[in-house]
Amino acid sequence: MTTDRHSTSRRVNATPAAIFALLTDPASHAAIDGSGMVEAAIDARPVAAVGDTFDMDMDRTPIGDIPGMVKYKVRNHVTRLEPDRLIEWATGGIGTPPVGHLYGWQLEAVGDTETEVTHYCDWSGISDEARKRIPWPVVPLSMLEQSVANLGQLATGAA
């Protein structure tokens, strides 16, 4: 099994609690997403526990990396949740189990008003057999960086 974990970090002028509130509300994810693929949360409510799910409408057209894969729905399963510190989820299709890759956000307070935000994508849970059948892309670091920048703007009210 190959390890494919990519991450980026940035300091944001907001408290971990304020950032965590944005990250646990799936409606925020379309504004945060740096890939341009997330269109909207479907019947989303803030996640509160491991095992919670949230669904998204996606459109892969902006990246164009998988021929024929355009609009689809994805179900995200929360795998780790530590209030004001961490949220992580696995993705799968609607009606299918998680595929094996994880996305997450780690938050660390820096003083009273700043937070070190780390966003990561981990593809290491995808089996070698699945990698042979489907051309799994590695999320470019630029997408993670843009997501962190978008989160920073959303958290500080700078648009």
Q: Which of the four pLDDT bands, split at 50, 70 and 90, describes residue 1?
A: very low
User: Residue 145: is its pLDDT beyond 60?
Assistant: yes
Q: Please give the model's pTM, rounded to 2 decimal places.
A: 0.86
In the chain, the number of structural domains is 1
Mean pLDDT of the chain: 86
- 116 DSSP β-pair partners: 11, 108
pLDDT one-digit tens code per residue, 16-43:
999 999 999 999 999 999 988 899 998 8
Q: What's the confidence (pLDDT) of residue 74?
A: 87
What's the CATH number where 72 sits? Answer: 3.30.530.20
Q: What's the confidence (pLDDT) of residue 137?
A: 59
Q: What's the confidence (pLDDT) of residue 112?
A: 92
Q: What's the confidence (pLDDT) of residue 2?
A: 47
Q: What's the confidence (pLDDT) of residue 135?
A: 59
CB distance 104 to 91 below 8 Å: no
Q: Hey, which of 2-6, 67-71, 100-104 has the most confident mean pLDDT?
A: 100-104
* Domain extent for 60: 5-156
Average the pLDDT over 74-85 and give the result: 94
